[in-house]
Amino acid sequence: MATTIIEPGVIPPHGAEAPFLRRAERAAVFGLRARRFMTLAQGHVMADFLRFMGHLAEAQQRTLDAQGAPVLPGAGQIKLCKAHGMPPLGTQTLRRDPSWREGLHSLLAQVESQANDATRAAMQRLAALPEADLEAFADRLLDGDYAGLDLAAAPLVGAALQVYWVRLATALEQADFSRPEAHTLCPACGSLPGASMVRIGGAEQGLRYLHCSLCASEWNMVRVKCSHCESTKGIAYFGVEGGDEAVKAEACDECRSYLKILNMEKNPAVDPVADDLATLALDILMDEAGFLRSGPNLLLFPGDADA
């Protein structure tokens, strides 16, 4: 049997079964994340924070399970996006239907009893916002325009938008997506990745996928390449001494940015959102080393993380 040697992390061009795009598993994405949060909370200095995020992820899964497909872009629009290598569910172009706000109110009702005083106050502020203000809040969060935003409430809005975009991305067919011009943005929704994953199992073994911070889709990118500027020079890996070997920061000397890379070969249970929030010490280290984080985690409660 002939053996083909391929560069680590690249999908082989012939006989490849690994998809360039892996969409979230609708029935399990947030449920698995919730379990991971609860595991990470055990004995952690930020145990209360991580446990609350676990409850929020559970609520995200229940909300997702309860809601059907949202209003989708028309077939013509999807075809046009595909022809131009554009994400069909782009946050800038897609008109959100009101069901994302129903999802938000469902999340708030489910986690209220688990929240601390500061978070409960933020929930009450959100619940009191008129529809137009809530839509403007979501627009700004999706644009990464955080100045003056209610940062304690932002992760709850972020969690609701994640549910909505997972509903969107999983309602389309795999054939509706194309590998876009920009390899650094999500092919489904155009958002930045929040982390990257070295995956295991079958054709995906050892391949690196960037994980969308919004719709949880993952797209293939070769390893040892900057996920922000695509440079292959000056890539270095940082970790916290004595920290989890499965979580590193992949840093680029060219653009001075970093993104965490989670290696399932080292720990198959790692989750791109939960493990990110459980390793904020690594973000502090990278900040001190002069690197800027290139993608967001929409669930970060700044107040809780400082405490």
Q: Which residues of the shown chain bind Fe ion in the complex (CB under 5 A)?
A: 186, 188-189, 191, 212, 214-215, 217, 226, 228-229, 231, 252, 254-255
Least Å distance, CB 60 to Fe ion, is: 15
Least Å distance, CB 212 to Fe ion, is: 3
Report d(CA 131, CA 99) in Å as an integer: 12
CB of 60 closer than 8 Å to CB of 161 = no
Residue 159 CB-density burial (10 A; 0-12 exposed, 13-18 middle, 19+ buried): buried
CB of 250 closer than 8 Å to CB of 235 = yes
β-strand 292-293 against 193-198: which pairing, if any?
A: unpaired
| CB closer to Fe ion, 119 vs 162 | 162
Amino acid at 242: G
| CB closer to Fe ion, 54 vs 187 | 187
| CB closer to Fe ion, 87 vs 155 | 87
Q: Is 70 helix (H, G, I), strand (E, B) or coil?
A: coil
| CB closer to Fe ion, 29 vs 186 | 186
Report d(CA 35, CA 40) in Å as an integer: 9
CB of 232 closer than 8 Å to CB of 280 = no
Least Å distance, CB 23 to Fe ion, is: 9
Least Å distance, CB 89 to Fe ion, is: 7
Least Å distance, CB 130 to Fe ion, is: 28
| CB closer to Fe ion, 102 vs 254 | 254
Matching residue, tokens 């680590």: 8
